Amino acid sequence: MRHLFIGGCGRSGTSFVQKIIISHSKVVGGPEFDFLQPLMMTYRRMITPFHLKRQEFFYDRDSLDQYMRTFVSSALLNKHQENSEVIFFSEKTPNNIDVAEELLTLFPDAFFLNIIRDGRDVLVSHLDVEQRFIKSGTAYHKPSFSLESVCALWNKSIDTYLKLANNETLNNRVINLVYEDLLQYPKRELMRICQSLGLVLEEGMLTPHKKEVRESPLHIDNIWHTEAMLNANFDTSKIGRWQKRLSFFEKRKAEKIMQENLKRLNYLK
């Protein structure tokens, strides 16, 4: 079975995309596996020339790659029942983008699906999460929701994607999906993704609201992921929420921090 890794800045619609992707009869997947990023960060260190030399008693590059492939695949597929009809196992965790290069290198037949959303709407979505934390009475750390930290996180994910897109040895297995395009032109965008994966678009992918998230293995915690969000259809009202939600000064500050990438992606003229 081949791997499909999904990532992008958090609050960019990755969970919604995962629900749609795993509704395909030839794709399976589950909730977020929290340890791909730290595992791949460790792998990144282990394959540096310094550590390959220093640790040669224990491993070389080929043996390490095999160990890692076996471990990651075993962890992801541990509870998956084998089905000869299934082609892809999809793993969605936003910070997969941080280690997309390692994932694609380690799994030469894998694909990476990157999700991009207007950074200002990403900021608004983080503010929504903050409000749900407050209403739930659950403890949270205020700095993680600061305007500056969210803008920096978005910039980092965009910079990482753009670097990956310029990697000529890997970019043929990188599929970019703009969240706003998915909401406005779902059939066109999903057909494009399916064609890239060698799949045929299935009609059920075009009606995500008809398959309740409770029927899938995705997690609902009503803070980061609510049932209403994951059961939504292609809702264009989610586009441009920042225009009414952010204050004048918040807009200016966010745009100043994200200006370069907003322009690169044609969000800012």
Could you tell me the CATH number of the domain that includes residue 43? Answer: 3.40.50.300
- Report the number of distinct structural domains present in the chain: 1
pLDDT for position 215? 67
pLDDT for position 151? 97
| Band of pLDDT at residue 150, cut at 50, 70 and 90 | very high
Residue 96 lies in a domain: yes
pLDDT for position 55? 97
Residue 212 lies in a domain: yes
In the predicted model, what is the mean pLDDT of the chain?
A: 93
Residue 143 predicted with pLDDT over 50: no
Residue 269 lies in a domain: no
Residue 221 lies in a domain: yes
| Band of pLDDT at residue 225, cut at 50, 70 and 90 | confident
Supply the range of the domain harboring residue 49: 2-264
Mean pLDDT within 259-269 = 95
Percentage of residues in the chain with pLDDT exceeding 70?
97
Residue 259 lies in a domain: yes
Residue 207 lies in a domain: yes
Q: What is the pTM of this model?
A: 0.94
Phi–psi pair at 208, nearest 5 degrees: -60, -25
In terms of C-beta distances under 8 Å and separation of at least 24 residues, what long-range contacts does 129-138 make, across chains too? 129/11, 129/223, 129/224, 132/222, 132/223, 132/226, 133/223, 136/222, 136/223, 138/223
Q: Characterise 177 by phi-psi region: left (phi > 0), alpha (psi -120 to 50), beta (else).
A: beta
User: What is the tens place of the pLDDT at every residue in 73-88?
Assistant: 999 998 777 777 899 9
